[in-house]
């Protein structure tokens, strides 16, 4: 069975070079042409995108593939009639083209990260973190405070709490709270109900617990540099950026998922990320 590679290649960088080396060396490579995704809005907004013919000619000059050409509708139909074994990057446009033209072919997907497609953007990942050690003295007070404040939040579907221990030893805590009034979602409805987890995170009337803590510290002139933060749920990408920018030293969390670049931003800022298990997390206490 003939093996070929098909890919949407908007730009030329080393990731695409590696994909070509791995899957198209000595074989035919088909660069997905614009006519095959003209009605797909996310790609219509890809301002980086080279003309497919230019990309194909540039890749052909690498002298890796047996042949490089642009794939259009008629070309896809001819290729499907050959019944080749096909490999594509694992991304939305690949899935759409396979469903449209290559449903009877043997298809493999390479999960290499090449770009932020829609599926990967909303993907919920298990955060990479080291486990907390039982009895860590810096953890007990802020974990209990955050859990208690989260349980008291009126943001019923996302009862997230956070607590911060500043470098001077003082502690502050907060929970998710809707704006402009804490009962706004009960009067006008919660806009988050229109989206799945991890999608359109910025479209919310709630101010997240972590953001409330950092904003309050800024208002009160308290430095967050070197602080330890406990959050009941792993931070969303906007909160992760706030935490990184605030100079916080250690992030504790209990549960949740990482979306988009949240974990990468925290790691790039040098934070220690620690997951708290049931064995290391103390029972909540009532906060006054």
Name the nearest CA neighbour of 80 among 25, 145, 36.
36
Q: Which residues pair with 255 in a beta bridge?
A: 233
Which is it for strands 28-32 and 3-7: parallel, antiparallel or unpaired?
parallel
Query: What tens-digit pLDDT sequence spans the chain (288 residues)?
Result: 699 999 999 999 999 999 999 999 999 999 999 999 888 887 877 888 999 999 999 999 999 999 999 999 999 999 999 999 999 999 999 999 999 999 999 999 999 888 887 777 777 778 878 787 666 667 888 888 889 888 888 777 788 999 999 999 999 999 998 888 888 777 777 777 767 766 666 777 888 999 999 999 999 999 999 999 999 999 999 999 999 999 999 999 998 888 888 899 999 999 999 998 765 554 544 343
DSSP of 94-108: HHHHHHHH-TTSEEE
pLDDT at residue 281 in the model: 53
What 3-state class would DSSP assign to 184?
helix
- The H-or-E segment that residue 287 falls in is none
Contact between 242 and 219 (Cβ < 8 Å): no
Contact between 112 and 89 (Cβ < 8 Å): yes
Residues 222, 230: Cα–Cα separation, whole Å: 17
Tokens of 103: 């449903």
pLDDT at residue 277 in the model: 74
Tokens of 54: 């230019």
Residues 242, 13: Cα–Cα separation, whole Å: 30
Residues 11, 116: Cα–Cα separation, whole Å: 13
| Phi, psi (rounded to 5 degrees) for 161 | -125, 155
Q: Which residues contact 70 (CB under 8 A, 6 or more apart)?
A: 30, 31, 32, 33, 52, 53, 56
Residues 73, 190: Cα–Cα separation, whole Å: 43
* Chain-centre distance for alpha carbon 158: 19
Residues 54, 154: Cα–Cα separation, whole Å: 55
Residues 5, 266: Cα–Cα separation, whole Å: 36
Residues 247, 272: Cα–Cα separation, whole Å: 12
């Amino acid at each position: 069975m003939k093996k070929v590679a098909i890919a949407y290649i908007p730009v030329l960088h080393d990731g695409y070079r590696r994909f070509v080396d791995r899957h198209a060396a000595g074989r035919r490579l088909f660069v997905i042409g614009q006519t095959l995704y003209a009605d797909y809005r996310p790609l219509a907004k890809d301002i980086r995108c080279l003309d497919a013919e230019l990309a194909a000619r540039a890749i052909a000059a690498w002298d890796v593939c047996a042949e490089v050409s642009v794939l259009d509708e008629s070309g896809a139909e001819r290729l499907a009639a050959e019944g080749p074994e096909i490999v594509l990057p694992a991304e939305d446009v690949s899935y759409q083209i396979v469903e449209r033209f290559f449903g009877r072919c043997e298809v493999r997907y390479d999960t290499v990260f090449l770009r932020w497609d829609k599926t990967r953007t909303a993907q919920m990942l298990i955060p990479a973190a080291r486990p907390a050690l039982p009895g860590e003295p810096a953890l007990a007070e802020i974990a209990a405070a955050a859990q208690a404040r989260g349980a008291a939040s009126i943001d019923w579907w996302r009862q997230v709490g956070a607590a911060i221990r500043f470098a001077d030893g003082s502690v502050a805590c907060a929970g998710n709270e809707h704006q402009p009034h804490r009962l706004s979602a009960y009067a006008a409805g919660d806009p988050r109900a229109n989206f799945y987890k991890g999608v359109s995170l910025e479209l919310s009337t709630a101010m997240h617990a972590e953001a409330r803590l950092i904003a309050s510290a800024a208002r009160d002139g308290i430095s967050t540099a070197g602080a330890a933060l406990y959050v009941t749920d792993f931070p969303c990408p906007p909160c992760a950026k706030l935490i990184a920018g605030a100079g916080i030293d250690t992030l504790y969390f209990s549960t949740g998922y990482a979306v988009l670049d949240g974990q990468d931003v925290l790691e790039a800022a040098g934070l220690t990320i620690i997951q708290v298990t049931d064995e290391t997390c103390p029972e909540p206490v009532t906060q006054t």
